[in-house]
Chain A
Amino acid sequence: AQSVTQLGSHVSVSEGALVLLRCNYSSSVPPYLFWYVQYPNQGLQLLLKYTTGATLVKGINGFEAEFKKSETSFHLTKPSAHMSDAAEYFCAVANSGGYQKVTFGTGTKLQVIP
């Protein structure tokens, strides 16, 4: 079985400050890991993903995440928050098991304070 835990349902940062959203996963096989972003009244869109290879993954809008197998983590970071980053962020895991099944975390709502 696979699972995802996102620490903190709400995170507030000041504009220009570091953004750090935490994600820990559980998987019995090598995982594929994703971060999705959801803006108000919209569907989810992919920010970045880790499949194989380089463990530091860069995504859109200046976000990046690092896959740390020893810590079973895939935390999302951005050096400097913008007002436009205010949204809900979902971490997700998929197993390399031969069919598509993705498990999503419960989401972290990011507030950016001017």
Chain B
Amino acid sequence: DAGITQSPRYKITETGRQVTLMCHQTWSHSYMFWYRQDLGHGLRLIYYSAAADITDKGEVPDGYVVSRSKTENFPLTLESATRSQTSVYFCASTSGTGNGNTIYFGEGSWLTVV
């Protein structure tokens, strides 16, 4: 019962470098999401995906790229990391069989950009 796993859990990178955060879920959930959590802002949606090969922007997509070639994986890439992207990133998923479904979260990836 692995659920939803994120890697790496902790990462320090330099400004301008490309970083990819991985997300894998074992439930075959249709919907997957990436959120960032910052003090005073709660959770903000970066990107979401309704199915393999279907992705869409959320509230704060600038500077991020996602892909979903397989249902179970939803990597998030920071193409050129900036200090403002220092944050905690959460991957999440839900079955999407009807609204009001529970969203399940990974344990988070702490990213520091120096």
Chain A residues touching B, majority SS: loop
Q: A105-B42, A107-B42 are in contact. Are A45 and B105 (CB under 8 A)?
A: yes
* Interchain CB contact under 8 A, A100 and B99: yes
Interface flags for A32-70 (1: CB within 8 Å of B; 0: not) read 101010000111111001011000000000000000000
| Interface range on chain A (Cβ under 8 Å from partner) | 20 to 34
* Interchain CB contact under 8 A, A44 and B42: no
Compute the total of residue contacts between A and B using a CB distance below 8 Å.
Answer: 63
Residue in B48, B96, B105, B107 whose Cβ sees the most chain A Cβ within 10 Å: B105
Question: A94 contacts the other chain (Cβ, under 8 Å)?
Answer: yes
Question: B102 contacts the other chain (Cβ, under 8 Å)?
Answer: yes
Chain A residues whose C-beta falls within 8 Å of the C-beta of B101 in the assembled complex? 100
Chain B residues whose C-beta falls within 8 Å of the C-beta of A102 in the assembled complex? 45, 103
A52 to B98, CA, bound (A): 12
* Interchain CB contact under 8 A, A43 and B42: no
Ordered by A's residue number, 26 sampled pairs between the chains whose C-beta atoms are within 8 Å are A34-B102, A41-B107, A41-B108, A42-B107, A43-B106, A44-B43, A44-B92, A51-B99, A51-B100, A90-B42, A95-B99, A96-B99, A96-B100, A98-B99, A99-B99, A100-B31, A100-B48, A100-B94, A100-B103, A101-B48, A102-B103, A104-B35, A104-B42, A104-B43, A104-B44, A106-B42
Chain B residues with a Cβ under 8 A of chain A: 31, 33, 35, 40-45, 48, 50, 90, 92, 94, 96, 99-103, 105-108
